[in-house]
Structure 1
Amino acid sequence: MEKEFKSGFAAIIGLPNVGKSTLLNAIAGQKIAIVSDKSQTTRNKILAIFNDEGHQIVFTDTPGIHRPHNKLGEFMVKTAKDAAGDVDIVLFMVDAEKKVSDTERKIAEDMQKSGIDTILVINKADKVVKEEILPIIASYAGVCDFAAVVPISAKTGDGVEILLDEMKKLLPKGPKFYDEELVTDQQEKQIAEEIIREKILRFLDKEVPHGIAVQIEKMSELDNITKIYASIYCEKASHKGIIIGKNGEMLKKIGKCARVDIEEMLDKKVYLELWVKVKNDWRNSEKLIKNFGFDL
């Protein structure tokens, strides 16, 4: 008798910078959500698809849940909450190295009320001893009846297979929503934009990165080379100088590192040209947020 196919949708939620994008990339096997040590780096819901012989799990990655400081921040929080409310399984991700916060307890309460199967994913478990994980689990006693608790290291991949096995147990019977060859619903252009933004986040400090949007103006093929022309938008003229750097060195560094990752994604040579432009206070302009590809 043929085994019944199981499929469903899953959301990864948690505070900013807890490792959600790293986990998503580990599951998908390639870089599709930007990974940075700065919070609030994921802005749009990003689908990644896990397939094996009898299962398909469609993941949505969400921005970290935080207090919004501008219209873009409001959009990011709304995206996270919307994604969590329309799935079969929620992965609630916490950091093993940090104390449980009131916000995290509130998220756990909301998950309990929602009735959605929720797995507590304790990331960075490789950074602490086992005895330090027990108080984290105890902090949620009486708050949320988790379907499972799984310590992992999204960075090394430890525990990820166990997590997927726990998720498979919770999946409902269902069809294959997407072709097995599809890893993400993101277009190459979107992924390239995210890769460029990741490099900006890596090399620049404080508030400059979060006032950054990247837009590819043109992407074309010529003689087995992909030519990409992209604009980096910032909110202040002073930020433009920081991004360009002395004698253009910072912009060259961003471009060089982004090009390497984009070439790996496309599996071909890439010519990347970057411009830096100023759009004052764009994060508080609904029109500009939409222009940069965010659905409000």
Structure 2
Amino acid sequence: MFKSGFVTIIGRPNVGKSTLINHIMGEKLSIVSSKPQTTRNNIQTILTGEEYQIVFVDTPGMHNPRHKLGEYMVKVAKESMNEVDIALFVTTPDVEVRKGDLHILEQLKSAKVPVFLVINKIDETTEERLAETLKNYSESFEFEEIIPISAKKGKNVDTLIELMVKHLNEGPKYYPEDMIIDKQERFIIAEIIREKALRFLSQEVPHGIAVEILQMKEENEKYKIEANIMCEKDSHKGIIIGKGGEMLKKISQSARKSSEAFLNKRVNLKIWVKVKKDWRDSPFVLGELGYKAPKK
């Protein structure tokens, strides 16, 4: 019997949802950063085994939105709960259940799907703290399964996959078995560039940046890619470019290497920096970047 279904990954920002997806898939498919609210689109990745296919929806972290982009991210996360077969609620070891987690669990009560409690980062805590976490969360919600894991080190991730397959129903193979992601290559390249910018800029430029792919075409066995890094302030533009263009050069070189690894071809990458004030509150700009403005 072949089993298949859709699994959403829900949790506060920065609890390791993208790291979990990356470990399961064995490739860097979802942008990973130490900064919260990094994942902006519900990236779908496809895991196909001999007797199952799991389609993962890696949602943006649930948080209190402060701009239209934030509203979009929360809307996507909420909608994903109603269109799946299993919900993985990912959190980290804490003595008390956080308010943000309680807010998400309240949303999950109406989801009517099996909810797994996945406690990540167990390699960074003690057994006593983990036991207290398990007790407190079990009292807050009736979970179908409870799995402590370390996404970073892969501990108990295979067990998590086995439990998901156990709870899936008989179903078709939705995607070809060699397909692992349903997003276009342009989107992945944009995410690669944005990740490099977030990594090298540290806390100097926050999440007020986006990447716009201006051109991406294959010619003579290599890709020619042109992109804009969009920021909200003139001061941010100077930081992104850096003294003598050094920062932008560092971002470009790193993004080019990762893009070549992803595309498996040589890449000629050119990046510019563009100031677009308050782009996160502009429905038009959000639409141009692929974010659908949430309905009121």
Report TM bin, short chain: over 0.9
**Residue 187 to residue 98, structure 1, CA distance change in 2 (3 Å):** farther
Q: Could you say what secondary structure the match of 1:142 adopts?
A: helix
Cα distance in 1 between the residues matched to 2:131 and 2:102: 16
For residue 207 of structure 1, report the CA deviation from its aligned partner: 6.9
**Aligned position for 1:49:** 46
- TM superposition score normalised by structure 1: 0.95
Identity %: 51
**Aligned position for 1:199:** 196
Cα distance in 2 between the residues matched to 1:78 and 1:177: 25
For residue 159 of structure 1, report the CA deviation from its aligned partner: 1.4
RMSD (CA atoms): 1.4
**Aligned position for 1:289:** 286
For residue 115 of structure 1, report the CA deviation from its aligned partner: 2.3
Residue of 48, 68, 74 corresponding to 2:65: 68
The reply on whether 1:163 has 2:160 as its aligned counterpart is yes
**Aligned position for 2:205:** 208
**Aligned position for 1:251:** 248
Cα distance in 2 between the residues matched to 1:141 and 1:44: 30
- Stretch moving more, 30-39 or 197-206: 197-206
Asked whether the 8 Å contact 1:108–1:140 carries over to 2, the reply is: no
**Aligned position for 1:152:** 149
**Residue 98 to residue 252, structure 1, CA distance change in 2 (3 Å):** farther
Cα distance in 2 between the residues matched to 1:230 and 1:159: 39
Cα distance in 2 between the residues matched to 1:192 and 1:277: 18
**Aligned position for 1:109:** 106
The reply on whether 1:237 has 2:212 as its aligned counterpart is no
Alignment gaps of 5+ in structure 1: none
2:55 is aligned with what amino acid?
V
Query: How many equivalent pairs are there?
Result: 293
Asked whether the 8 Å contact 2:95–2:129 carries over to 1, the reply is: no
For residue 31 of structure 1, report the CA deviation from its aligned partner: 1.4
Cα distance in 2 between the residues matched to 1:98 and 1:262: 41
- TM superposition score normalised by structure 2: 0.95
Cα distance in 2 between the residues matched to 1:97 and 1:155: 18
Alignment gaps of 5+ in structure 2: none
For residue 106 of structure 1, report the CA deviation from its aligned partner: 2.9
- Give every structure 1 segment of 4 or more consecutive aligned residues whose post-TM-superposition deviation is greater than 3 Å: none
Cα distance in 1 between the residues matched to 2:67 and 2:142: 34
